[in-house]
Amino acid sequence: MSEDLNQNISQFMDNELEHAEALLLLANLNAQPELQHKLNRYAAISHALKSGVYLEVKADFLDDIAQQIQQEPIPVPIVEKPVAFKQAYPWLVLAASLAMIALLTEQRFNSQFVIPAATLQMAQRWLPESSDLNKRISLYLKEHRSDAYAQSQDEVKPYSR
Amino acid sequence: MTIHDLIKRAEVIPLPRNSQQLDEELVSRVQRGDKAAFDFLVIKYQHKIIQLVNFYVKDPSEAQDVAQDAFIKAYRALGDFRGEAAFYTWLYRIAINTAKNYLMLRARRHSDYQLDIQEVEALGNAPQLQGLETPEQLLLNEEIMTTLNKAIEALPEEMLVAFKLREFEGLSYEEIAVAMDCPIGTIRSRLFRAREAIDKQLTPLLE
């Protein structure tokens, strides 16, 4: 056991090791039971000074836990969706689908099919501002403004509603 | 030191930011499937959790079993850990609840363990009430404590001061360095050598 490692154990006990060094030490502790024993002895001494009782961790404490958690599933964080989102989800799917169809149809066939702006605006409300689809919907809505004819703007496509 | 002191110390005196960052990273790794990262958390907190549980359970051997149970519960609940509290306070709460549940179950099984949780907490921290019940256990503990105190008093003065400032006053290395007017590296070395000297004196008793 090197003196450097033991000194790191002493610092680790005092929460005085830098992040990267602490991770490296933990990896060493996990791999070498005698290093864990050293840490547990330092901790037992510290506790005994404050409580008057010397209490050391048993040798197979970690191994027993490690064996048990191998049988356990991974504790993946549960992401809660907002209630409003859950209720609007079917409509969101419909709106997003219609938006995609409109845009893809518009671009590929240059057809005269137009979907209501309100539907696209509803879909847009639920999309992240930076998403590609959101930007394309904005462009589409801009190009199909209902006041296009009144403004006489050349870039506006016909058949707006 | 009472149980309330232990909890208060954990909650009012937070762990250094780098320690909390380490915990956050390890928790995140576990949540992404790295089970070995949980071993690291166990290594980091096993002695604190056993000591905390033993305060309730009053039996060092059973305290270790209950503490293991607490760690398993913590692992299972990690999916619900949102990071609103520091990991170690969250873990301490699980350990305390696990210990209390254990006491209630034990009380139901054995009519002579009719201890109220408040009574347990009020009993204090005397060695006789920490599960050291046999004369041999009490005697060994007394010998260990005597050896420990002698080893500390035999330390060279500068090591002794640094050690006491760290262990009894809870000062950081930086604070001790300022108090003793020397570099942090010197403090680091003094504390390490103090621990090694004490450990060396205890070894014949423990092995």
Mutation to test the A interface, candidates B9, B190, B192, most A Cβ within 10 Å: B192
Token digits of residue A53 = 């009782």
Q: How confident is the model at residue B165 (pLDDT cuts 50, 70, 90)?
A: very high
How far is residue B152's CA from residue B201's CA, in Å, rounded to a whole number? 10
Q: How confident is the model at residue B84 (pLDDT cuts 50, 70, 90)?
A: confident
| Alpha-carbon gap: A82 to the closest alpha carbon of chain B (Å) | 16
pLDDT of residue B96: 96
Per-residue pLDDT at B10 exceeds 60: no
The alpha carbon torsion through B8, B10, B14, B18 (nearest 10 deg) reads: 180
Among A18, A30, A49, beta carbon nearest to B148: A49
Per-residue pLDDT at B138 exceeds 60: yes
How far is residue A76's CA from residue A82's CA, in Å, rounded to a whole number? 19
Contact A55 B125 (CB under 8 A): no
Among A48, A58, A78, beta carbon nearest to B64: A58
SS (H, E, C) A77-88: CCCCCCHHHHHH
Q: Chain A partners of B126 at a C-beta cutoff of 8 Å?
A: 52
Tell the residue number behind the tokens 């905390």, with chain if given. Answer: B52
A156/B14: higher pLDDT: B14
Among A40, A42, A53, beta carbon nearest to B127: A53
pLDDT above 90 covers what percent of chain A? 31
Q: Taking the CA of residue B50 as centre, how many other CA atoms within 13 Å lie in the half-sphere pointing to its CB? A: 27
| pTM for the model | 0.69
Torsion over CA: B201, B203, B206, B207 (sign): negative
Read off the pLDDT of each residue in A30-56 and give the average, rounded to a whole number.
90
Per-residue pLDDT at A107 exceeds 70: no
Q: How confident is the model at residue A153 (pLDDT cuts 50, 70, 90)?
A: very low
Q: Chain B partners of A57 at a C-beta cutoff of 8 Å?
A: 46-47, 50, 64
Per-residue pLDDT at B172 exceeds 50: yes
Q: Using alpha carbons only, what angle is made at residue A96 by residues A90 and A98, rounded to the nearest 5 degrees?
A: 105
Per-residue pLDDT at B156 exceeds 90: yes
Q: How confident is the model at residue B20 (pLDDT cuts 50, 70, 90)?
A: confident
The alpha carbon torsion through B160, B165, B168, B174 (nearest 10 deg) reads: -140
Reported ipTM: 0.81
Contact A78 B80 (CB under 8 A): yes
pLDDT of residue B137: 80
Token digits of residue A127 = 């999309």
> N- to C-terminal Cα distance for chain A?
80
Per-residue pLDDT at A125 exceeds 80: no
DSSP designation for B154: T
Token digits of residue A81 = 């969706």
pLDDT of residue B128: 47
Q: How confident is the model at residue B19 (pLDDT cuts 50, 70, 90)?
A: confident
Read off the pLDDT of each residue in A103-119 and give the average, rounded to a whole number.
60
pLDDT above 70 covers what percent of chain A? 65
A16 part of contact set with chain B, CB < 8 Å: yes
10 Å Cβ neighbour count for B133? 13
Q: Chain A partners of B3 at a C-beta cutoff of 8 Å?
A: none
CB pairs under 8 A between A and B: 161
A80/B182: higher pLDDT: B182
